[in-house]
Amino acid sequence: MKGKTHEIRTECTRCGTCCEKGGPALHLEDKPLVMAGRIHTRHLYTIRKGERVHDNVRGCLVPAVSDIIKIKGKRQSWECVFFQAGDKTCDIYEQRPQECRILKCWDTREIEATYQKTRLTRADLLADIAELWELIQLHEENCSHELISRAIQNLGGNAPRKASESIIAAVQYDQAIRRLVVEKGQVTDDMLDFLFGRPLTQTLKTAGCRIEKTDGKYQVAIGRLPPVGS
């Protein structure tokens, strides 16, 4: 008895699997979509330089070498915010980003070749908005993941208290600047993760650290550090 033959896929069947795994990262080719408002910044979030991120091609955690601007998921799900699971459609299909256009689940060579190239950054979109860009730069100076990583390493050194205070100060600055821009009416809450990245109270967890608040005071707790790919 002959074995069953399997048809080799050569085109997208719109099964929705890739959309369910998360929104794409944006590239310079996608800038016109954002500038024209076809992809609004409230639907985006930023993975900042130095933040640990899952590399879909290499299949491991790596520090981001620059901004990675991605389309958000739905609430607590990874599912792309533009994906409609009921009928497997995309709200912006005709204006979909580059990664969505070139991804072929049956042949990933093209997406692998372009995955880390020409990434869109916040500077590409916001550097001309002087006041807002200045706030973003101040946030980076006080809350960079390089600063956080160094402080976490020092928690086990000769000055753990100073390292802990540095982390707490960064968390408080992160929270304060988010409140400030909303209170001044410059942006809405749903744009904060694009402007300043995800809150440090969230991203610290992927760096093996968490912040606990007891009686109004912050404390730094160290957890298991996830491995980083080479």
Q: What is the pLDDT of residues 82-138, one digit of tens each?
A: 999 899 999 999 999 999 999 888 888 888 888 788 999 999 999 999 999 999 999
Using CA atoms, how far residue 98 sits from 55, 79, 148, in Å, is: 17, 18, 32
Using CA atoms, how far residue 109 sits from 17, 57, 59, 195, in Å, is: 18, 10, 15, 32
Q: What is the pLDDT of residues 145-157, one digit of tens each?
A: 999 999 988 887 7
Q: What is the pTM of this model?
A: 0.86
Beta bridge partners of 209: 222
How many CB atoms lie under 10 A from the CB of residue 196? 23
- What per-residue string of b and e applies to 20-44 under the rule 16 or more CB within 10 Å gives b? eebbbbbbeebbebbeeeebebbbb
